[in-house]
Structure 1
Amino acid sequence: MEEKKIKTKIQKPKLDNDLDNIELFCENIIDEAIFSLGKIVDCSLENYEADKINFKQILFRNVVFNNVTFRRIEMVDVIFENCDLSNVDFMEASLHKVEFINCKIIGTNLSESTLRNVIFENCNGEYAFFSYSNLKQVAFIQCQLRSSDFQNSTFSKIEFHECDLFQAQMNFTNLKGIDFTSCNIEGMGANINDVNGAIVTTMQAVHLSTLLGLIIK
């Protein structure tokens, strides 16, 4: 991870070096189930649904999630490496000290969620949902976030580095102080009040001028 890019102090997950393998079976995936101190690797999780499932100090590596609904999931000290979480439903999730590294989160639903000390690095998050969420101390590094949805969210100490935010939706989300200068924000949806105080390049300011209804020749 290119930590030098991150200006905000983000707490990293704390995992033991020697984690035992954990196998998930249908009979174990129940509401409020707790899994801790282990690793889940090289497998596919299919057709699982549970409410308020809890993962603590877990490493997911090379895991494919298919038709998985874990609403109100709680995760603390968790790392996802090279995982495919596309279209997973994590609505109303609570994430603290979580990292997503080289993951697919295409269409993943994290709306109405709380994210604290979370890093997304080199992830494909096209069409991902973060709307109505509360994000604090969160960094997106070299992520594909085209057409993602961050509307009506609360941002605090959020960073975007070299991300593609083409047509990402940021309406009714305060972007003051957020540095977009290394990102593609062409077509980004936002209200004029939302972008007040955002940090952009001259060319990006031209793109955002459409929010004022200006026609630049």
Structure 2
Amino acid sequence: MSTKKVKIEAPKIPDGLKPLAVSEVEWPDEHAISDCVMQDCSITNQSAYKACFDRVVFNNVVFRGTSLRKAEFTDVRFENCDLSNIEMSEMILHRVAFHNCKLLGMDITGSTLRNVRFGQCYADYAVLRFSNFKGVSFEKCSLAKADMSNMTLANLYFTETNLDQAQLSQTKLRGIDLSDCQFDGLGVTLEDVRGCIISPAQAVVFAVKLGFVVNNGE
């Protein structure tokens, strides 16, 4: 069984963006940052509410003790960044790309993502619950033990992604293709997985999880 894949729009970032030094970074509430590149720096103990980022590239940036609740990111790219344990709940992402980023424990509870691509990212223990994803892909990522419960999904794609022990309860997976994912177990119910696409080997995992006794013919 296969589904037609919807194209995910890439960030629209112009050439020749100006560099922005970390010493110039101050993010008061509802502050806007646009048309710049931040690279090779550490952003520590920043807190901003409803900040806006447009046409920004973050390259090799480490975020520590940072909170960006209800931030908006449009046409933004994160490359080789560390956003572990960052608090970004209720944010809005549109045409955003994360490549080779560390997202361990990142909290994006209640966020809205449109046209977002995660490539080779480590997002174990990430908190994505109550978020709305449409046009989002995870490519060669790890989401082991991530909290993805109570999410609304459309056009979500996984490629060679680790979902082991991820919590997906109350998230409807109908039409979502999990057949290319790796996991020994998922936090799901029968109603959650109804209509999702899985491999024959994964069918055994789901059967055991849901309480069926699998007869292997021996």
TM range (shorter): over 0.9
Q: Deviations over 1:149-205 (max 9, x none)?
A: 110000000001100000011100010111111111321111111101111111101
* Residue of structure 1 equivalent to 2:157: 159
Tell me by how many angstroms 1:23 deviates. 2.5
* Residue of structure 2 equivalent to 1:3: none
* Residue of structure 1 equivalent to 2:208: 210
In the superposition, relative to structure 1, how do residues 8 and 41 fare at CA in structure 2: closer, same or farther (>3 Å)? same
Does the alignment pair 1:73 with 2:74?
Answer: no
Letter in 2 for 1:73: A
Q: Deviations over 1:22-74 (max 9, x none)?
A: 12448721000000000001000001111011100000000000110111110
Q: Deviations over 1:68-92 (max 9, x none)?
A: 0111110000000000000000000
Partners of 1:205 and 1:143 in 2: CA distance: 22
The TM-score, its normalising length taken from structure 1, stands at: 0.94
Q: Which of 161, 166, 169 is equivalent to 2:167?
A: 169
Tell me by how many angstroms 1:215 deviates. 2.6
Letter in 2 for 1:118: V
Alignment of 1:15-30 (within 5 A): 15-25=13-23, 28-30=26-28
Letter in 1 for 2:48: A
Partners of 2:97 and 2:213 in 1: CA distance: 42
Partners of 2:34 and 2:123 in 1: CA distance: 27
In the superposition, relative to structure 1, how do residues 11 and 159 fare at CA in structure 2: closer, same or farther (>3 Å)? same
* Residue of structure 1 equivalent to 2:58: 60
Cα pair 1:192 1:211 within 8 Å, conserved = no
Count of aligned pairs between the two proteins: 212
In the superposition, relative to structure 1, how do residues 24 and 34 fare at CA in structure 2: closer, same or farther (>3 Å)? farther
Partners of 1:7 and 1:39 in 2: CA distance: 31
Structure 2 residue ranges without an equivalent (≥5):
none
The TM-score, its normalising length taken from structure 2, stands at: 0.94
Partners of 2:118 and 2:124 in 1: CA distance: 13
Tell me by how many angstroms 1:17 deviates. 1.2
Task: Show structure 1 runs of 4+ deviating over 6 A.
Answer: none
Q: Which of 80, 83, 96 is equivalent to 1:82?
A: 80
Partners of 1:212 and 1:148 in 2: CA distance: 20
Q: CA RMSD in A?
A: 1.3
Is the partner of 1:49 in helix, strand or coil? coil
